[in-house]
């Protein structure tokens, strides 16, 4: 069992994400800045690519996609993966255009993104997870949460209690549904 408490923003280690290999990467629509906590998109959140509305949001049609942006770290001596998130104020016209990866059953990645954070220095307490726990997307936040009794959408299973590259607690997840 591991309590996933982290300092800074969420991280993703893409162990086996088939969407990267198959080209199922989406990065043309701006985020609907009104629906994301404090105008921040963290690595490891899930959002919808709502092409009809012309926005990335939490309520559109389509399946959930993983936020996995190219990280912009300008001083590796002082910055690490925990220091990167997309923030509205950092973009021209305050328009964030995230890179989203479609996930498929069998995909595997490591993460510590289980709750919103507002700064690279803040500490956030996420979930307490054990091997075999099942997770689903919280449709109001885009973060993973404990799955209900009969989940109907995407389901992830904890396959290893692990650590992130910077030594913070994390888990390896496999998509099973």
- Per DSSP, the three-state class of 31 is strand
Domain that includes residue 78, residue range: 2-175
**Mean pLDDT lowest among 16-25, 85-94, 121-130:** 85-94
pLDDT of residue 35: 82
pLDDT of residue 65: 97
Average pLDDT over residues 35-45: 87
Whether the per-residue pLDDT at 94 is higher than 70: the answer is: yes
pLDDT of residue 73: 63
Stronger pLDDT, 76 or 101, i.e. the higher one: 101
Average pLDDT over residues 134-154: 94
Compute the mean pLDDT over every residue in the chain, rounded to the nearest whole number.
91
Would you say 66 and 44 are in contact if contact means Cβ atoms under 8 Å apart? yes
Beta strands at 156-163 and 169-175: parallel, antiparallel or unpaired: antiparallel
Per-residue pLDDT reduced to its tens digit, 55-91? 999 998 889 999 999 876 666 666 677 878 888 888 8
Tokens read off for 123: 């500490």
Average pLDDT over residues 131-160: 95
Number of domains composing the chain: 1
pLDDT of residue 91: 84
pLDDT of residue 37: 64
For the chain, list the strands marked E by DSSP: 2-7, 12-16, 25-26, 40-41, 46-50, 55-57, 64-67, 86-87, 100-101, 108-111, 123-129, 134-137, 144-146, 156-163, 169-175
Task: State the pTM of this model.
Answer: 0.93
- 110 pLDDT tier (thresholds 50, 70, 90): very high
pLDDT of residue 47: 97
Average pLDDT over residues 120-125: 90
Average pLDDT over residues 35-58: 91
Stronger pLDDT, 48 or 152, i.e. the higher one: 48
């Amino acid at each position: 069992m591991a309590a996933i408490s982290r300092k800074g923003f969420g991280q993703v280690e893409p162990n086996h994400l088939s969407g990267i290999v198959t080209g199922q990467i989406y990065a043309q629509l701006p985020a609907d800045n009104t629906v994301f906590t404090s105008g921040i998109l963290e690595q490891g959140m899930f959002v919808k690519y709502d092409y009809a509305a012309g926005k990335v949001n939490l309520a559109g049609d389509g399946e959930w996609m993983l936020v996995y942006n190219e990280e912009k770290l300008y001083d590796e001596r002082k910055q690490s993966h925990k220091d990167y998130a997309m923030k509205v104020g950092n973009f021209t016209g305050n328009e964030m255009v995230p890179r989203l990866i479609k996930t498929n059953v069998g995909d595997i990645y490591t993460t510590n993104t289980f709750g919103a954070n507002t700064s690279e220095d803040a500490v956030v307490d996420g979930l307490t997870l054990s091997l075999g726990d099942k997770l689903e997307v919280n449709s109001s936040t885009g973060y993973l949460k404990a799955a209900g009794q009969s989940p109907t959408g995407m389901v992830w299973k904890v396959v290893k209690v692990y650590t992130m590259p910077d030594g913070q607690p994390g888990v390896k997840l496999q998509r099973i549904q």
